[in-house]
Amino acid sequence: MSDIKRLINNLTSEYEVVKMRSILYGLLEKIEILTMKVDEKQNSKDIENNQIEESIGLKEKIDNKSKIDEYFPKTGYKRKSIHSKTSCPNEAMKEKKDTSEFSKIPNHQSQDKLTQLHETKTIDPFANPVTQQKPVSPLKQRRLRNLTFASRDELSSGVPTRVTISSYTRNTNELRQPTSFHLMEDIKLTYNDTFFTSLMTKHFQTLQYWTGFNHIQIIYDSNKNKFTRHSVQKRLYEKKNIMGLIITDDDAVFGSFHHNTFPKKPKKAFVTVKDPDMFVFSLENRNRLAGPTRWLIKQDSPGVDWSISFYSDKEKDPSFYNVYQCFTLRPPLNQHNSSLNPEFKFEYENAIDVSAFTGNKENFAVKRLFFLQWYQ
């Protein structure tokens, strides 16, 4: 091989000669690779032959001149020295005969290196060299597919099964709109109330996103139920995922959401609910805010343990729906008896002045009140 390389390097540097030199180098490298593969298969075949000879009791005596192994046997296999087979002509002929018999076994390639080379496919030296493609990682495949939204199964298999961003947005809108439409149709059929359905039409998807739920059930409506503490609280006991919606006389809409389960009817003066996931929100406020906004309770606030209070019916104070450091309602309807708490901005994340709910810090009048229960 080294002599061939020396002859190639001694060629002149004209363009055609340079091209021929590169082709010859490519062929030479492929020959070396094939030779290494043949040597590897030859060595493995010799090991297999020795194992077969030992198992059938046909192992021959050979001289003590050892041959260096190019490849080590598998772990746990005791090494055996392989000796020269030319010490005895009769034994050499017999060994040659035995190896020729093993060469006739199916699925065994020829042991002759030249025969192995002749059996390979003819390579066109003037054809463009084909480089072997490296496997592409799943993350790179995502980039090549124009940021496809890939699933976990898709990433593990490496086979794209979804669509790109341009078509994904369109397809998901086509899927989501009927879902929201059907939900709104259910609400309209269930609750024949123009005001409530129009309010849900505008804000239903926002509330879905905030709560993580898809369906609602009205469990209290001030137009149908009394606006008193007893009437409200008896519909909330031992329920969870409750949302209150307050509509004021100047059409401000705000409220709160409570994830944890409410207690039973209190026997003491009042009970509170521990709820680190509660939040308050504003849906409509005459453009005092950029849009629907919610504020989460601070995790180091006492409000985590006092998110909402339930008072006993024996309490003389008629207030109810008392959300920690935010608002408290008092009957009757349409009277400016309900109040906001100025400590709101200190107890909630990214909170602003409490006047954002109604436009001022003064007492407000409740025109209508809903309590909804959310579920999947």
DSSP per residue over 88-123, as a string? Answer: -HHHHHHHHHHHHHHHTSTT---S-HHHHHHTSPP-
Tell me the pLDDT band of 20, cut-offs 50, 70 and 90. confident
- pLDDT (0 to 100) of residue 2: 66
Reported pTM? 0.53
Decide if pLDDT at 373 tops 90.
Answer: yes
Q: 235 and 261 in contact (C-beta within 8 Å)?
A: no
The region of weakest confidence among 75-89, 301-315, 329-343 is: 75-89
- pLDDT (0 to 100) of residue 7: 64
Decide if pLDDT at 85 tops 50.
Answer: no
- pLDDT (0 to 100) of residue 125: 53
Query: What is the separation of C-alpha 171 from the centre of its chain, rounded to a whole number of angstroms?
Result: 20
| Higher-pLDDT residue of 349, 316 | 349
What average pLDDT does this structure show over 155-165? 39
Tell me the pLDDT band of 48, cut-offs 50, 70 and 90. confident
Listing from the earlier edge strand, what are the strands of the sheet with 270-272? Answer: 270-272, 308-311, 320-323, 327-329, 339-340
Decide if pLDDT at 178 tops 90.
Answer: no
- pLDDT (0 to 100) of residue 115: 53
- pLDDT (0 to 100) of residue 42: 78
| Higher-pLDDT residue of 252, 134 | 252
- pLDDT (0 to 100) of residue 122: 52
Domain limits, the chain = 2-132, 193-375
The region of weakest confidence among 71-75, 247-251, 370-374 is: 71-75
Q: 332 and 325 in contact (C-beta within 8 Å)?
A: no
308-311 and 253-258: which strand pairing? Answer: unpaired
161-175, 239-253, 286-300: which is most confident:
239-253
Decide if pLDDT at 165 tops 70.
Answer: no
Q: Where are the alpha helices (DSSP H) in the chain?
A: 2-9, 15-56, 89-103, 113-118, 138-144, 152-157, 165-190, 194-211, 229-233, 344-347
DSSP three-state, residue 244 = strand
For all residues of the chain together, what is the average pLDDT? 74
The region of weakest confidence among 122-131, 182-191, 240-249 is: 122-131
| Higher-pLDDT residue of 253, 96 | 253
- pLDDT (0 to 100) of residue 304: 92
What average pLDDT does this structure show over 133-160? 43
Decide if pLDDT at 84 tops 70.
Answer: no
| Higher-pLDDT residue of 73, 28 | 28
332 preceded by a cis bond (ω within 30 of 0): yes
The region of weakest confidence among 71-85, 189-203, 234-248 is: 71-85
C-alpha angle with apex 138: 136 to 143, nearest 5 degrees? Answer: 85
Buried b (16+ CB within 10 A) or exposed e, 123-156: eeeeeeeeeeeeeeeeeebbeebeebebeeebee
What average pLDDT does this structure show over 124-153? 46
Decide if pLDDT at 237 tops 90.
Answer: yes
The region of weakest confidence among 97-106, 150-159, 243-252, 255-264 is: 150-159
Phi, psi of 302 (to 5 degrees): -60, -20
- Crossing angle of helices 89-103 and 15-56, in 10° steps, is 100
